[in-house]
Chain A
Amino acid sequence: MTNWLITKNNSKVNLLDIPTLEMSQLRSEIISQEKRPVGFFGKDWGFGTTRLFVILADDDNGELLISSAMFSAEQKSYESLTQDVPSFHIFEREFYEQFGIEPLNHPWLKPVRQNQDKYEFFEMKGDEVHQVAVGPIHAGVIEPGHFRFMCNGETVYHLEIMLGYQHRGVEDMMVKQPSNQLAESICGDSVIAYNTVYSQIMELLKDIEISPKAQLIRKAALEMERAAIQIGDMGAVAGDIAYAMGSAVFGVTRTLVINTMLEWSGSRFGRGLINVGGVNFDISEDEIKLTLKTLDKVAKDVDRMAKTMLKNSSVMSRLEKTGTVSLEKAKEIGLVGMAAKTSGIPLDTRFDYPDKWMKELNFEKKPFKGVGDVNSRFKLRYKEVKESLSMVRKILAKLKDYEKEPVLVNSNKELSKDSLAISIVEGWRGEVVHIAMTDGNGNLSRYKIKDPSFNNWYGLALAVRNNGISDFPLCNKSFNLSYSGNDL
């Protein structure tokens, strides 16, 4: 196995230890491994050469496989992987867009974030066929994205999604001026997940060990974020099908959760809570009591409302069999996180790549039976809310053992030289992957971010096929993918 460097989640490796193969050899290695990609990105290696890094996830064994290939200045193409492993399609498109190295025979080399105007959309022809273009500017306060539907009457045959209107060059910014403030602003609904993963990367590169108390607070905040967003999205699904009561009740309960975050950190979304070296705010005894009381009420309200909704036949007729992504399709295109779970892939990096707390606190992966429709996604959210709330309770109880500990350690240290650090955190939407590299002077030289939405947007496109166009908003809301996390 000298072709791959095997490592764990939250680890740092020396760049010199990463094997460099010929692209053709790497290609056949990737195909024979049959593992899921979490990183497939280039780095400028000087003198016009480009080094392609590939990180595969072995979810069964909780391991990460790293390898790389070098492209000389003349070598501007390679045989695409997508032909054999379709889940690489978006990674190869991104690599092509960032480094201009063309994956030959790629079936759909569409722009990811740039040059949207130059792309020609698929078109269906016929007397009864019509196209509906929506966005990039939408009604309501949502982010920009362009959706083009090819419809026959009310039925959608094909949906093409064009994104990238929020492209800000986050990866470059992270290299030049990395900060917690920047990290938590990348994707506004996953503040805790993004800030945790960034802080872990920096702590790895700086060889900092944070206190157990800080780890627990981060973990509790992550679950609070999960609960809050999932409740909010349950309300949004209710709102989309005009079920006013659900929308109102979930809206109120979500506010309770985020207001608890406000108590903890001074921000409803937990901005400013997490810092490199630990967390900025301790949670006092009184806050724990208040939190537990609030969470009891939240759990009760969510339970009652969700049960009422799932019993309501008019609600069920909207949710069931709408926007289905089959297990085969989900595997083929490489869905991750929530979307994968609902289609029946039991992927959850919290449990697949566990830290010491998962064992100590007895957190176990509970199975979820989903069929990939909106109903499954609604039910999964309900399940995750319940689980997250009980996890928060356990974590807060554990916190009492570490009462006297500091929550923040000094982080004023140099970064390790010539290193690659990788960290994966399961945000509410799925795995948030950050990878950072340093050069020989101990400066950041590359920062790569992968949001779960990057994998999952294509899942939405498949979900709406053969559904009514008026069900699209419902499907969209049931995934609730991120534009800013994808566009970077």
Chain B
Amino acid sequence: MIVKFLNIIILLFMPFIMMGLIKKTKTFWAGKKGPSVFQPLYDFIRLLKKEFVISKTTSVVFRIAPVINFSAILFAAMFVPLAYGSALINVSAGLIIFAYTLSLGKFMSLLSAMDTGSSFEGMGTSREACFTTIVEPAFFITIASIMALSGNYTFDSLSMLLSNAGTYGVLITLFASVILFIMILVEASRVPVDDPATHLELTMIHEVMILDNSGLDLALFSWANSIKMLLISSLIANMLIPTSLSEWVSILLYLLVMVLVSLLIGTIESGMARIRMSHVFEFIFIMSSLALVVLSLIVARMFGG
């Protein structure tokens, strides 16, 4: 019971820490002191106290979108195993529900951006929609084939991979982690796909879509976005952490993976320029090709020698 409770605490608050850690890493590489790792949480609280400014051109879609987006992502979180144990709702169609509730959230945020009628937000929407379309098949191929390998169509199959599939398991884990990591960069709009720190509307993707949101709405959007980052990182953690460990060790290892993912994102953001918009597709297609590698490894494992 305590562990389940702890899972929820981690789900809700770890994303803020991860965001703070990314910022801290970036400032470390820049030779600066930087704000505390809790700054994203303070910002969140600050936003909660602010009032709304709502554009006259928007409709009800703009009002309900942040809440639907946030609840969709929280709902999706119930189907993913977090720090320890199975998912809260552990069903065999979990992957489908997970992916499509995430898509529902994305759909609402796209609609809300279009609702403002701003040309910037229209451009952001088209970019985000486009990238999502490429990410989705790669994600499905990877996770579904891992599930097929174990024969267990729940997310639990991820944690069985390393122990059950031998050398293939190691290779698959490696490739799948890279795929999921790229997915984090795309979905959480990090460098080199997007630049969360820019003020230049013409270059933005995710940031520009929430340009008109303020107060609670903005807070929900950014919270939801960082939770999404945690969820995908959890999939990586699930593959890496063996099931045989005790619960406290697992939770510690899980937190360690979250920290490492954050540090890695921060380091990449410091040492790399953002990719030119027209070349982002090529970067995301790395996911697709790696997904096919995973698929062929699994086919080899299942039907080969």
Contact = CB atoms under 8 A, between A and B. Distances in A.
Interface of A: 130-134, 139-140, 154, 238, 240-245, 247-249, 252, 312, 314-315, 317-318, 322, 468-473
Given A242-B191, A245-B30, A154 B202 contact: no
A242 B201 contact: no
A132 B119 contact: yes
B46 interface: no
A248 B30 CA distance: 6
B207 to A, nearest CB: 10
Nearest to A154: B277
B29 A244 contact: yes
Classify chain B: how many residues form its interface, as a range: 20 to 34
B278 interface: yes
B120 to A, nearest CB: 7
Interface string B243-286: 00000000000000000000000000111111111110000000
The secondary structure that dominates the A interface is helix
Contacts of A470: 202-203, 276-277
Contacts of A243: 272-274
Given A132-B120, A248-B32, A242 B278 contact: no
Contacts of B56: none
Given A244-B197, A469-B202, 7 more contacts: A130-B122, A139-B199, A140-B199, A154-B277, A241-B273, A243-B273, A314-B275
Contacts of B203: 240, 470-471, 473
Interface string B101-131: 0000000000000000001101100000000
B202 A132 contact: yes
Interface in B183-219: 191-192, 195, 197-203
B202 A473 contact: yes
Most buried by B among A131, A238, A248: A248
Contacts of B199: 139-140
A92 B272 CA distance: 45
Task: Return the 3 tightest CB-CB contacts between A and B, nearest first.
Answer: A248-B30, A242-B274, A242-B195
B305 interface: no
Nearest to A244: B270
A468 B273 contact: no
A244 B192 CA distance: 11
Given A244-B26, A244-B30, A314-B192, A133 B119 contact: yes
A134 B30 contact: no
Contact of B200 (A154, A240, A244, A249): A240
B201 A314 contact: no
Most buried by B among A139, A241, A317, A471: A241
A242 B120 CA distance: 19
A295 B203 CA distance: 35
B276 A471 contact: yes
A247 B195 CA distance: 14
Given A132-B119, A245-B271, A471 B31 contact: no
